[in-house]
Amino acid sequence: MLVFDAATRRILEEAYQGSDVVRRRRAGFDALGAQPGDHVLDIGCGNGLLSRELARAVGEQGSVTAIDISRDMLDAARDRCADSPHVRFVEAGADSIPVADGAADRAVSLQVFEYLSDIAGALREIARTLRPGGRLVIGDFHFDSWIWFSDDPGRMSRMMAAWDDHLAERCVPALLPALMRDAGFIVDAIQPVTFTDTVLRCDGIANLMLVLIETYVKENGLVPDAEATAWAAEQRQLAEHGRFFFSLTHFVVTASKRA
């Protein structure tokens, strides 16, 4: 699993305001449909960008409970939302949410469930916190949709497999509909949001993953350092010569709690 320490936090802080991540976040925001006066749970709030947007949407008559297991990320979120007193910050996981039964109107979780070892348990816990008819939105990548061109496909496969080491589940969107129904939800919509690039954009998902993957596999000794360095260098060279290709699909799954 990735450790969201200060160094990683700085990388994410920059990238999460880039065009791709903004588009992904907006898809989740729109699906949630937060209304004035709502109590919203932001589960895995990260650096607080979505929490702040939700705070504006619900207004001072509403509230946002921003939840994360990382103290570093909560600190960043708290700083970002310093002028929004109706945002509360809680250090907790998706499987143990300190909110009363039926107290929340809506809950959202973006790129969190891929790190959970007990997805079914987390869904039951979220269902407990939501009122009947309350809405849940979960957004995660389906890593079987991942296409990344390389002139050395063997090395690319090894790097992608090494990245899987940081995940608990790589195919969350495929599992969610059945698990949501079992947890007491009605699945209302599934929206794919695909990121496809032939340019290595500075603010793109591909560039973010290039940096994170190289760093992660080296720090954890999952492939030799020289191989990871060569992999990253090749991608930058492909981009320079107009041969870069990357595609990955994020799915936004919207459900409502059965009455």
Residue 234 confidence (pLDDT): 98
d(CA 91, CA 14): 23
pLDDT > 70: percent of the chain: 95
Look up tokens 């949410």; give the residue: 97
Give the DSSP per-residue string, 19-58: HHHHHHHHHHHHHHT--TT-EEEEET-TTSHHHHHHHHHH
Do the beta carbons of residue 249 and residue 193 sit within 8 Å? yes
Phi, psi of 229 (to 5 degrees): -65, -45
d(CA 98, CA 138): 19
pTM score, whole prediction: 0.93
d(CA 61, CA 67): 20
The DSSP letter of residue 62 is S
Rg (CA), the chain: 19
C-alpha torsion sign, points 136, 137, 139, 145: positive
* Tokens linked to 213: 């993957």
Q: Count Cβ atoms within 10 A of the Cβ of residue 183 and give its class: 0-12 exposed, 13-18 middle, 19 or more buried.
A: buried
Q: Count Cβ atoms within 10 A of the Cβ of residue 95 and give its class: 0-12 exposed, 13-18 middle, 19 or more buried.
A: middle
| DSSP-derived 3-state class of residue 63 | strand
Neighbours of 35 (CB within 10 A): 13
d(CA 128, CA 107): 11
Nearest residue to 160 (alpha-carbon basis) of 236, 223, 243: 223
**Going edge to edge, which strands form the sheet with 104-110?**
87-91, 63-68, 39-43, 104-110, 130-148, 246-257, 185-197
In order along its 259 residues, the chain shows pLDDT tens digits of 555 556 666 666 677 888 899 999 999 999 999 999 999 999 999 999 999 999 999 999 999 999 999 998 899 999 999 999 999 999 999 999 999 999 999 999 999 999 999 999 999 999 999 999 999 999 999 999 999 999 999 999 999 999 999 999 999 999 999 999 999 999 999 999 999 999 999 889 999 999 999 999 999 999 999 999 999 999 999 999 999 999 999 999 999 999 8
Look up tokens 């919207």; give the residue: 254
Phi, psi of 132 (to 5 degrees): -55, 130
| Domain annotation for the chain: domains and CATH numbers | 6-257 (3.40.50.150)
Q: Output the furthest CA–CA distance in the chain (Å, rounded).
A: 56
Residue 1 confidence (pLDDT): 53
Side chain identity, residue 1: M
Residue 200 confidence (pLDDT): 95
d(CA 63, CA 41): 9
Residue 6 confidence (pLDDT): 63
Q: What is the mean pLDDT of the chain?
A: 94
Residue 24 confidence (pLDDT): 94
Residue 11 confidence (pLDDT): 67
